[in-house]
Amino acid sequence: MSTDDQIETATNDRPPDLVGRPSTGPAYRTLAEQEETKRRTHKMMLLTLRLFYLVLMVPLTLLPFVAALTDATTADFPVQAYIVTFVVVFAFGLGVILLDSATPNKKLSSVFGIYLGIIAGLVATFAIGLLLDLVWDSWNLTDATSQAYLKLVRLAIGVTLCYIAVSIVISTKDDFRLVIPYVEFSKQVRGIRPLLLDTSVLIDGRIEGLSNTGFLDAPLVLPQFVIVELQTLADSSDRLKRNRGRRVLALVSRLQHNPMISLSIEDSEVDGIGVDQKLVQLAAEQDLRILTTDYNLNRVAQIRSVTVLNVKDLSNTLKMEAIPGETLMVDVIRRGESAGQGVGYMPDGTMVVIEQAAEKVGQVVVLTVTNVLQTSAGKMIFGTALDDNGQPSTSEGSTRTPVGNDTSALHDASTSPAANARDDEDAAAERLARSATQQPRQTDRPADRPPTGPRSRRNPRR
């Protein structure tokens, strides 16, 4: 079976709680099927509402004309008037429906802002109209021409004030929270604050195992723009990226059907260029927490005062703590950098440096912990291998017997395995930290200038 077939099989794998159920029933639906069903239902509701409006609009408009037909005084009413009225009303209703269809992405805050601006403009127009009436009366402008001009001025001022008010409210609707808190309709989070999933935490994959443990009692929220990014990754021309995207989409489908968690899709439109900016903006607007493994996103979110939970920090916190004097069993993977050392790893990935284990590569040894060091490159455990009797094992040539003088005994004590172990521990920790922090030297040489060779020595004769 090829890799693509394996990925396709993994994508179609069903969750354990749905094994034995028919795959064609409503019990198991993929993420794409659920989104398509939701989209079809939304379109059907809008189509029904628009048809109901159009059918209701025409009869209600023609009712006065139907009443006029039964009246003997209006029996000579022309038939063309009914036809023209029907066409005009039908065209008006159709235009309203087309205008509604042309703006599918509506925000409740924007619509409410328009209504608020119109009301403010009408109130201001009424107040200014009272002042205009007072001015007209004081100047005795009571003739028909003056009254016509008064109506024209009122109409122009009313339209202008409504336009200005709507423009101001739409442009500064976010600032109205300080004056009118109910202007902005935002989602109110009750109870435990939900977790907003990042692309990196889904690609990491440990979210599935964490969700199966039952520790995630907070609702999980997956934004629509993250799904779009995963879909783009799954459609990539690069085989590795394509397989990774398919695997993550299969993971999302399994998370949706996991009874231990609650996962919802967020369709809100968020301003921003990149996915990280949209995540931070969405979390700030709806008071959510971000679940990620991205270090840079963590820093940016902290600047915006957004709570971030890093799965890597949780993993490092849950690593087993080794105490000096504790006995461990470790599989020796390779030789160490110093003589007589072997290197192994704990199940959580922590490196273990084992003294007197260089000849036991490929074997499981029992060791006693002598020291634990935490450096910028990670945690390291140092220990000494034990023999069958539970005593520290020794290699040939590592010790020698003192012969009759104190100087020789002092030399043996200074070169004992314990002293060498301490020196090797410090040296290995320093090498690990140095290799982790060592960076290539940066120079001020321009990019277009070729690198120069080693500087020649100065001529001593000069």
pLDDT at 196 over 90: yes
Q: How does strand 341-345 pair with strand 364-375?
A: unpaired
Cα–Cα dist 226/201, whole Å: 11
pLDDT at 342 over 60: yes
| pLDDT (0 to 100) of residue 30 | 53
| pLDDT (0 to 100) of residue 77 | 58
Q: Provide DSSP, 53-109.
A: HHHHHHHHHHHHHHHHHT-GGGTT--HHHHHHHHHHHHHHHHHHHHHHHH-----HH
Do 369 and 418 fall into the same domain? yes
Comparing 38 with 164, the larger pLDDT belongs to 164
Backbone angles phi, psi at 265, to 5 degrees: -100, 130
Question: Which pair of structure tokens corresponds to residue 171?
Answer: 């442009």
Cα–Cα dist 189/191, whole Å: 7
Residue tagged 């440990």 (tokens)? 206
* Most confidently predicted of 60-64, 203-207, 268-272: 203-207
Residue tagged 């903006």 (tokens)? 281
Q: Which residues contact 19 (CB under 8 A, 6 or more apart)?
A: none
Comparing 374 with 255, the larger pLDDT belongs to 255
15-37 average pLDDT score: 48
| pLDDT (0 to 100) of residue 378 | 65
Confidence of residue 200 (pLDDT cuts 50, 70, 90): very high
Q: What is the mean pLDDT of the chain?
A: 74
Q: How does strand 327-335 pair with strand 308-310?
A: unpaired
Question: Which pair of structure tokens corresponds to residue 13?
Answer: 């794998």
Q: Which of 7-21, 148-162, 260-274 has the lowest mean pLDDT?
A: 7-21
Do 158 and 256 fall into the same domain? no
434-449 average pLDDT score: 43
Cα–Cα dist 432/416, whole Å: 24
Q: Alpha carbon 206 to chain centroid distance? A: 16
Asked whether the beta carbons of 399 and 412 are under 8 A apart, the reply is yes
Domain boundary among 284, 317, 350: 317
CB atoms within 10 A of CB 440: 5
Q: What pTM was computed for the model?
A: 0.45
Residue 400 falls within a domain, yes or no?
A: no
Give the closest residue to 230 by CA, choosing from 219, 239, 221, 241.
241
Q: How does strand 220-223 pair with strand 341-345?
A: unpaired
Do 200 and 313 fall into the same domain? yes
Cα–Cα dist 33/2, whole Å: 26
Do 239 and 336 fall into the same domain? no
Domain boundary among 263, 294, 317: 317
- Which structural domain range is residue 421 located in? 327-395+410-431
Cα–Cα dist 138/123, whole Å: 23
Residue 166 falls within a domain, yes or no?
A: yes
93-100 average pLDDT score: 84
59-67 average pLDDT score: 68
| pLDDT (0 to 100) of residue 14 | 41
Residue 269 falls within a domain, yes or no?
A: yes
Backbone angles phi, psi at 252, to 5 degrees: -60, -40
pLDDT at 462 over 80: no
Domain CATH for 348: 2.40.50
Comparing 332 with 7, the larger pLDDT belongs to 332
Domain CATH for 298: 3.40.50.1010
Do 272 and 295 fall into the same domain? yes
Q: What is the largest CA-CA distance in the chain?
A: 144
Give percent of the chain with pLDDT exceeding 90. Answer: 13
pLDDT at 389 over 70: yes
Residue 38 falls within a domain, yes or no?
A: no
Asked whether the beta carbons of 197 and 222 are under 8 A apart, the reply is yes
CB atoms within 10 A of CB 77: 13
Give the closest residue to 289 by CA, choosing from 315, 311, 261.
311
pLDDT at 441 over 50: no
Do 214 and 310 fall into the same domain? yes
Do 227 and 299 fall into the same domain? yes
Q: How does strand 351-355 pair with strand 341-345?
A: antiparallel
| H or E stretch covering 242 | helix 239-256
Cα–Cα dist 153/392, whole Å: 103
Q: What is the pLDDT of residues 363-374, one digit of tens each?
A: 888 999 998 887
* Most confidently predicted of 184-193, 269-278, 352-361: 352-361
Do 305 and 204 fall into the same domain? yes
Cα–Cα dist 311/201, whole Å: 7
Do 240 and 205 fall into the same domain? yes
| pLDDT (0 to 100) of residue 37 | 80
pLDDT at 451 over 70: no
Do 255 and 275 fall into the same domain? yes
147-159 average pLDDT score: 87
Do 208 and 313 fall into the same domain? yes
Do 288 and 368 fall into the same domain? no
Tally of domains in the chain:
4
Domain boundary among 81, 102, 123: 102
Q: Which of 210-214, 262-266, 276-280, 415-419 has the lowest mean pLDDT?
A: 415-419
